[in-house]
Copies of this chain bind each other. A is one copy, B any other.
Amino acid sequence: MTRKEAILKAAIQLFAQRGFHATSTSEVAKRAGVAEGTIFHYFKTKEGILMYLFEEIMDSYTEGIENILKKATSGMEAIEELIRFHFRFGEQRSQELKVVMRDFPSNLIEFGSPFREKVTERLSRIMDVTKECIERGLKDGSIRDLSPEETSFIIQGILIGVSRLKLMGPLRVPNLSSQVIDLCRRGLAKPN
């Protein structure tokens, strides 16, 4: 493991557990087994670690959902796969996701931040893909007549919120993925 990886690993663990603000760079360095200065050698600032993390995970997520869109045979199926992917992703990378969920919004909003652009770009890409799924479903008749814009917003809201509740809280809910899929399917499917 390179030093950079060690720093990232340590940061993810600590940020997920205690939060970004409550974690000091000296703690990260200690856990990573490197000198504190090394952190700043690789990531210019403490926020830089968060940024790197965010970009990395967002790119990975975006790539995943873009693949789904390519493979899916219908709009509704795409939505289902999207949800399935979302929860699978959340399980595989729960730590990183926790960090992003915990500490992200703060920076999202800060206007001066050099993040802002990158972040909003990624987020809107995610929203776009969801919208495209809906639009396809409208065309192929698998989804009922709904505004793609608004519906994709709600779908994203559902995924974020449910994941949040799951990641942050102590409650364990089995089959979350399939239950959300069922609910969404009934909500979106064309009435017969």
- List residues of chain A with CB under 8 Å of any chain B CB: 17-19, 21-22, 101-103, 105-106, 108-110, 123, 146-147, 149-151, 153-154, 156-166, 168-169, 171, 173-176, 179-180, 182-184, 186-188
**A81 smallest CB distance to B (angstroms):** 19
Say how many copies of this protein the assembly contains: 4
From the candidates B103, B160, B173, name the one contacting A153 in the complex (CB within 8 A).
Answer: B173
**8 A-B pairs whose Cβ atoms sit less than 8 Å apart in the complex:** A19-B110, A101-B105, A102-B105, A108-B168, A150-B176, A153-B165, A183-B184, A186-B186
Cβ A19 vs Cβ B106 within 8 A = yes
CB-CB under 8 A from A123, the residues of chain B are: 169
**A21 smallest CB distance to B (angstroms):** 4
Cβ B165 vs Cβ A162 within 8 A = no
CB-CB under 8 A from A109, the residues of chain B are: 17, 19, 168
